[in-house]
Structures are given as structure tokens and as C-alpha cells.
Amino acid sequence: MFEGHDTTASGLSWVLYNLAKHPEYQERCRAEVDDLLEGRDSDENDLSNLPFITMCIKESLRLYPPVPAVTRRLTQEMTVPGKRVIPPGNICLVSIYGTHHNPHIWPDPEVYNPLRFDPENSKGRSPYAFIPFSAGPRNCIGQNFAMAEMRVATALTVRRFRITPRDSKVRRLPELILRAEGGLWLRTAPPTGANN
């Protein structure tokens, strides 16, 4: 229960914040939803096919992973780069935030660029370069539901509202769940030329 609502709320907040800061991507998301729905009300099947919104969500999860780090206790000896050996029983911290901001993997890591997740741009990237839901046998069992939930909430929000940031800068608070100091405050207005 804790992970299912707190992490998704964090992820969704950062997605909306990034779209508010990047109106060109927000408009492209809106157009994607409008094209898909073509003036009709949505249903869950419609909103499962939104590739650009999915790329925007993934890029927000890369920049602001809801869970910035995880720990694992080693059950067997592990050799890491530099030929160092970590004996079993040790607890290792995996920095998801650090991995997602590593300039050797992600050029210009502080820049919000959803096109990083275009299938053509993702070719050859390690599956462990993007791990907002952890990885391996102990990854998040709710990741597909969380992605679907964020996709629907993002799609319906940008379809009904034009979002702008209230504050130009926010300060991240890397707690158990990544938050913004004082929250993420956004302004909403009807989208330009909307009949919704």
C-alpha cells in the first residue's frame, strides 16, 4: 500500500512539473491524446497507447526517481569494477538517482529530454541504465500498474488543462521517497482553443 500510492504520487507530480516547465512537450502530449480520442470520451484501452506521454513519464522518472536508492544484502560474493570483491552478508546501496544522472550513460543528464526514450534512441542501452522500479527478481511488482496509472492521469490532465509552474526552481528532498521542498506547485488554465 505504501509503495503503491506514495511513489506513484511522487512520480506523477514530477511528470506534471516537467511538462509545466516544457510547454512544447506538454502540447505534444495534448495533441497525442486529442488525436487518439478524436473528440470522444476516453476508456482505459484508449489511454494505454500513448507513446510520447510514456516517453515523458520515463524521462521524469529518470530525472526524479520516486525511490532514489535501494539496498540489497548480498547472498554471495560479488566482483565489481576494479576487481574488488564484496563478501556475502554485506549490504550494498544502489543509487538509482546516481545511475539516472550518470553522464557516461545519459549525455546532459540534468536536461529533460523525453526523446531519450524513443525506441530508436534506446537501442543498445543497458537495461540497468533506467531502473526507477529497481531491477532483477526484487523489482517492483506494480510497475506496469503504476505506469498505466501515470499515463492515464497525465493524459487526462494535459487534455483538460494547460499547466504552468508557479516556481521557477524547486529543491529536491531525497528522503525515502523523492519530494520537493514545500511541494510542487503548478497553475492550471484551460488549454488554448479547448472545447473540453
- The CATH number for 138's domain is 1.10.630.10
Amino acid identity of 109? P
User: How many domains are contained in the chain?
Assistant: 1
In a domain, 118, yes or no: yes
- Ranges of beta strands (E only) in the chain are 69-73, 78-80, 84-86, 91-95, 162-165, 172-174, 178-180, 186-189
| Grid cell locating 65 | 526517481
In a domain, 54, yes or no: yes
Would you state the pLDDT for residue 1? Answer: 45
Would you state the pLDDT for residue 144? Answer: 86
In a domain, 97, yes or no: no
Residue of 94, 97, 71 whose CA lies nearest to 14? 97
Would you state the pLDDT for residue 27? Answer: 97
Would you state the pLDDT for residue 44? Answer: 53
The number of beta carbons lying within 10 Å of the beta carbon of residue 114 is 23
State whether residue 16 is helix, strand or coil.
helix
In a domain, 74, yes or no: no
Is 56 marked as binding a ligand? no
In a domain, 196, yes or no: no
| Domain hosting residue 36, numbered range | 2-66+110-189
pLDDT in tens, the chain (196 residues): 455 567 888 889 999 999 999 999 999 999 999 998 886 665 555 677 899 999 999 999 999 999 899 998 999 999 988 999 999 999 999 999 999 999 999 999 999 999 999 999 999 999 999 999 988 777 878 888 889 999 999 999 999 999 999 977 888 887 788 888 888 899 999 987 655 4
Would you state the pLDDT for residue 183? Answer: 86
The number of beta carbons lying within 10 Å of the beta carbon of residue 91 is 9
In a domain, 85, yes or no: no
